């Protein structure tokens, strides 16, 4: 019998780049809770997906010289893409929504029209500061030091005809909702929303764009595309079939029980999302939980600090379950946490290899050695057992109490307290001493039974964290299906008294910390592979390549491109030559003026971002911290422009 429905979501990911360990953290947290609820007997619906529209994707696709659809298809469906990553991480989502899916597009058009028809969307002109990477308009008062308050990057003035959503109309009911005290967690985020956003006055929200195309068209006003956040937030409803025929369980699962979101998007989920739902007359989600960020050395994720943040590499090296466990055990969900390779390895060694893996393997080995693998335990109690038996019997209650309040870290800690207690019990009871005295064999059987039983209860409760490992552990313990359940976890003694163990592989091999950290460092900064020399070319072929010394007359960034710099070059001909080069990330344009470089002049002209590029500047490519770094070839300034290289 189901305990009722439980609908949980992750944010839908923005596929502008490959996902890193921070994104993985959020999805693993949601998956852990979803698995926990399933284990408790809820009818769980777990939705995740990708948020694929917007200007940033359009720009990235242009730079990659593919269509936006091809661009997102590759990151979502392609090798080592979003779907592959969730498979690798053993994410148990029931559904995956892409905002480019036809049914979602149709629903959004209907939703937009519905809000327009009921008078909550009107046409106006937007004038304000816009952050392109975040796709967010900001008021002057919201800017921090004149920059985007979310990402800290520069904003630009933007003005365009646009539709507006009457967010201001919903300020009061949204504030009331926030003040219920259960809608938004952790509670600290409630004040932040009210004081920073509602009290200063909610302004109407610009909900359409005309300055780019990659979005869902407003069907009654071609030229406008729906603001990406309107499109994205409604995924939680369209993914269940709201205003579409693709799914038909909206009535069953809505309202969502939990939206898990990162702290920077709490504003969208706890203010804009409820207001839009009020506008279309749908019930409020029951809870928004704003989790913290994984940081690297106190700052945002990037590879430059020498830590590996590629979840593929980490999962392949240590195993999916070890990585899942680390993410959930190391950091409390509501706060920020500092990621480091050292913390990860230390957790694996201390908790998984030692406290858990070693206890399991020692216990199973002793049952094999002293009882040929099969126990007959009469379970006569001894005061020495009370503490362990008591702790293990009541573990489920403590665990449940934490899990029901998003205490994934605290719940895992409770489990490991019992495992530590069991390790201590091994020392206290000294089974190897009992084994020397044949009369103590019944006592030895009880001790080993208690250990197996404590382990079994812990393994039941670790299933949401480490699903595959727990199956292996159950097999070694010899736990039948019936005692792998939530119900059986509160019952010390559910394991059959004549249990037969099956010795298996070590669950988590110990890692040599020093050696491993060094290897990880090398993986992040690989020595350049000696590339094989290309096949010979004739001297005549080489001579066809017109390589010249050029001097930089001027250099500037290409508007709307993060990569390109535009050079005006003296090539000795008397007429400046224009070349575009994708090195903006590595040089400041002003630092290059006057430099002596090398260019190939006789390559066919190319158009890049609508501008001509007549030739190519030579540079060397180096991999640094997993990213390509370009170094321009620079020559002695004494060499005049126009000289040929030979
Ligand atoms: O925000 N630590 O997508 P997104 C923890 N498309 N969480 C992190 C993180 C880190 N270092 N970096 C990112 C979007 N995240 C929107 C959502 S929902 C209708 C639309 C989390 O791919 C981040 O906080 O930029 C967010 O919750 C999620 O990854 C997706 O981020």
Q: List the residue whose alpha carbon is closest to atom 10 of ligand 1.
A: 22
Nearest CA to ligand 1 atom 8: 22
C-alpha 13 to ligand 1 mean position (Å): 6
For residue 626, pLDDT beyond 60: no
Average pLDDT, the chain: 93
For the stretch 476-525, pLDDT in tens is: 999 999 999 999 999 999 999 999 999 999 999 999 999 999 988 887 76
User: CATH for 539-632?
Assistant: 2.40.50.140
pLDDT in tens, 315-336: 999 999 999 999 999 999 989 9
Task: Point out the least confidently predicted range of 120-124, 267-271, 332-336, 398-402.
Answer: 332-336
Mean pLDDT of all residues in 30-44: 98
151 vs 504, which has greater pLDDT? 504
Q: Which atom of ligand 1 is nearest to the CA of 264?
A: 24
* pLDDT of residue 436 exceeding 90: yes
The CATH code for residues 340-490 is 1.10.730.10
Is the shortest distance between the CB of 14 and ligand 1 below 6 Å?
A: yes
End-to-end distance of the chain based on CA atoms, in angstroms? 82
* Residue whose CA is at the smallest distance from ligand 1 atom 12: 22
Cα-flanking dihedrals φ and ψ of residue 484, to 5°?
Answer: -105, 10
pLDDT of residue 379: 82
Say yes or no to pLDDT of 308 above 70. no
CA distance 480 to 474: 8
Beta bridge partners of 548: 599, 644
Decide: 236 in ligand 1 pocket, CB within 6 A: no
Per-residue model confidence (pLDDT) at position 304: 46
User: 559 CA distance to ligand 1 centroid (A)?
Assistant: 27
* Ligand 1 atom nearest to CA at 261: 27
C-beta 25 within 6 A of ligand 1: yes
* pLDDT per residue as tens digits for the range 273-299: 999 999 999 999 999 999 999 998 667
Structure tokens at 223: 């030229």
For residue 51 and ligand 1, the question of a CB distance below 6 A is answered with: yes
- Mean of pLDDT values over 205-225: 94
Ligand 1 center from residue 261 Cα (angstroms): 7
Please enumerate, as own/partner, the contacts of 240-244 that have beta carbons within 8 Å and a separation of 24 or more: 240/7, 240/45, 240/47, 242/107, 242/111, 242/282, 243/106, 243/107, 243/110, 243/111, 243/114, 244/103, 244/104, 244/106, 244/107, 244/110
Task: Give residues with Cβ within 8 angstroms of 1, minimum separation 6.
Answer: 41
Give the number of the atom of ligand 1 that is nearest the alpha carbon of residue 260.
Answer: 27
Share of the chain above pLDDT 90, in %: 78
The alpha carbon of 11 and the centre of ligand 1 are apart by a number of angstroms equal to: 6
Q: How confident is the model at residue 526 (pLDDT cuts 50, 70, 90)?
A: low
Pocket mutation for ligand 1, best pick of 8, 10, 11, 52 (most atoms within 8 Å of C-beta)? 11
Is the CB of 13 inside a 6 Å radius of any atom of ligand 1?
yes
Please state the domain extents for the chain: 1-100+292-339, 340-490, 539-632
Nearest CA residue ID for atom 29, ligand 1: 23
CA of 477 to the centre of ligand 1 (A): 39
Q: Is 457 in the pocket of ligand 1 (CB under 6 A)?
A: no
The CATH number of 1-100+292-339 is which of 3.30.360.10, 3.40.50.720, 3.40.50.1980, 3.40.50.620?
Answer: 3.40.50.620
DSSP state of 483: G
Q: Are 640 and 602 in contact (CB under 8 A)?
A: no
Whether pLDDT at 300 is above 60: yes
Q: Which atom of ligand 1 is nearest to the CA of 13?
A: 22
Residue with tokens 């010249």: 548
Nearest atom in ligand 1 to 263's CA: 24
Query: Of residues 608 and 420, which shows the higher confidence score?
Result: 420
| From 265, 297, 305, 331, mutation site for ligand 1 pocket: most ligand atoms within 8 A of C-beta | 265
Task: For residue range 527-585, list pLDDT tens digits in order.
Answer: 666 677 888 888 888 888 999 999 999 999 988 888 899 999 999 999 999 999 989 98
Q: How far does the centroid of ligand 1 lie from the alpha carbon of residue 570, in Å? A: 46
pTM to 2 decimals? 0.81
Q: Is the pLDDT of residue 398 over 80?
A: yes
Residue 195 CA, ligand 1 centroid: distance in Å: 23
Summarised one tens digit per residue, pLDDT across range 98-115 is 999 999 999 999 999 999
Of ligand 1's atoms, which has the minimum distance to the CA of residue 295?
11
Better-predicted residue by pLDDT, 522 or 238: 238
**pLDDT for 1 beyond 90:** no
Ligand 1 pocket test: pick from 19, 22, 81, 135 the residue with the most ligand atoms within 8 Å of its Cβ: 22
Residue nearest to atom 31 of ligand 1 (CA): 13
Mutate which of 8, 10, 13, 288 for ligand 1? The one with the most ligand atoms within 8 Å of its CB, which is 13
What pLDDT score was predicted for residue 181? 82
Give pLDDT, residue 623: 64
**pLDDT above 90 (res 185):** yes
Lowest mean pLDDT among 170-179, 204-213, 343-352: 204-213
Query: Identical fold at 1-100+292-339 and 539-632?
Result: no
Bridge partners (DSSP) of residue 578 are: 568
Backbone angles phi, psi at 350, to 5 degrees: -75, -55
- What's the confidence (pLDDT) of residue 645? 86
Which residue's CA is minimally distant from atom 15 of ligand 1? 23
Higher pLDDT among residues 377 and 524, named by residue: 377
- The yes-or-no verdict on residue 262 having pLDDT over 90 is yes
DSSP annotation of 283 reads P
């Amino acid at each position: 019998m189901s305990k009722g429905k439980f609908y949980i979501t992750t944010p839908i990911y923005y596929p502008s780049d490959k996902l890193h360990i921070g994104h993985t953290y959020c999805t693993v947290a949601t998956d852990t809770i979803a698995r926990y609820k399933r284990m408790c007997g809820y009818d769980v619906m777990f939705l995740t997906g990708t948020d694929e529209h917007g200007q940033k994707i359009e720009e990235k696709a242009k730079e990659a010289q593919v269509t936006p659809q091809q661009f997102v298809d590759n990151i979502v469906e392609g090798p080592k893409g979003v779907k592959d990553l969730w498979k690798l991480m053993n994410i148990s989502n029931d559904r995956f929504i892409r905002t480019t899916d036809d049914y979602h597009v149709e629903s959004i058009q209907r939703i937009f029209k519905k809000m327009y028809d009921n008078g909550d969307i009107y046409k106006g002109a937007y004038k304000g500061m816009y952050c392109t990477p975040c796709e967010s308009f900001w008021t002057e008062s919201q800017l921090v030091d004149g920059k985007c308050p979310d990402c800290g990057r520069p904003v630009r003035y933007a003005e365009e005809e646009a539709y507006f959503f009457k967010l201001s109309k919903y300020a009061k009911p949204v504030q009331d909702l926030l003040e219920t005290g259960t809608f938004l967690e952790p509670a600290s985020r409630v004040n932040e929303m009210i004081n920073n956003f509602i009290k200063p006055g909610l302004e109407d929200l610009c909900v359409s764009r005309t300055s780019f195309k990659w979005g869902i068209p407003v069907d009654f006003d071609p030229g406008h595309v729906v603001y990406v956040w309107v499109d994205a937030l409604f995924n939680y409803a369209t993914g269940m079939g709201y205003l579409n025929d693709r799914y038909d369980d909206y009535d069953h699962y809505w309202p969502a029980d939990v939206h898990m979101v990162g702290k920077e998007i709490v504003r969208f989920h706890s203010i804009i999302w409820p207001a839009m739902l009020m506008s279309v007359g749908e019930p409020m989600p029951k809870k928004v939980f704003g989790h913290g960020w994984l940081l690297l050395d106190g700052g945002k994720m990037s590879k430059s600090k020498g830590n590996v943040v590629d979840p593929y590499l980490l999962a392949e090296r240590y195993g999916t379950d070890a990585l899942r466990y680390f993410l959930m055990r190391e950091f409390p969900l509501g706060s920020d946490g500092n990621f480091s390779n050292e913390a990860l390895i230390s957790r694996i060694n201390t908790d998984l290899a030692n406290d858990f893996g070693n206890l399991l393997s020692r216990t199973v080995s002793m049952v094999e050695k002293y009882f040929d693998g099969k126990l007959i335990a009469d379970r006569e109690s001894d005061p020495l057992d009370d503490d362990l038996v008591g702790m293990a019997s009541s573990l489920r209650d403590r665990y449940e109490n934490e899990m029901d309040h998003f205490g994934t870290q605290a719940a895992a800690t409770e489990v490991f307290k019992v495992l530590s207690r069991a390790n201590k019990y091994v020392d206290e009871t000294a089974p190897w001493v009992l084994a020397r005295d044949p009369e103590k064999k019944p006592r030895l059987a009880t001790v080993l039974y208690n250990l197996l039983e404590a382990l079994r209860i812990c393994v039941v409760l670790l299933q949401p964290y480490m699903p595959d490992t727990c199956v292996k552990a159950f097999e070694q313990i010899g736990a039948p299906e019936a005692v792998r359940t939530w119900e059986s976890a509160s019952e010390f003694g559910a394991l059959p008294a004549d249990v037969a163990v099956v010795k298996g592989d070590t669950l988590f091999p110990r890692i040599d910390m020093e050696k491993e950290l060094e290897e990880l460092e090398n993986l992040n900064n690989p020595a350049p592979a000696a590339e094989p020399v290309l096949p010979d070319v004739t001297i005549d072929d080489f001579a066809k390549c017109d390589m010249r010394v050029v001097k930089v007359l001027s250099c500037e960034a290409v508007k709307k491109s993060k990569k390109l710099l535009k050079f005006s070059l003296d090539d000795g001909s008397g007429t400046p030559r224009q070349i575009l080069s994708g090195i903006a990330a590595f040089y400041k344009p002003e630092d290059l003026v006057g430099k002596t470089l090398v260019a190939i002049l006789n390559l066919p002209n190319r158009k890049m971002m609508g501008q001509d590029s007549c030739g190519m500047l030579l540079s060397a490519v180096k991999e640094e911290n997993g990213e390509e770094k370009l170094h321009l070839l620079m020559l002695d300034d004494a060499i005049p422009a126009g000289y040929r290289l030979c």
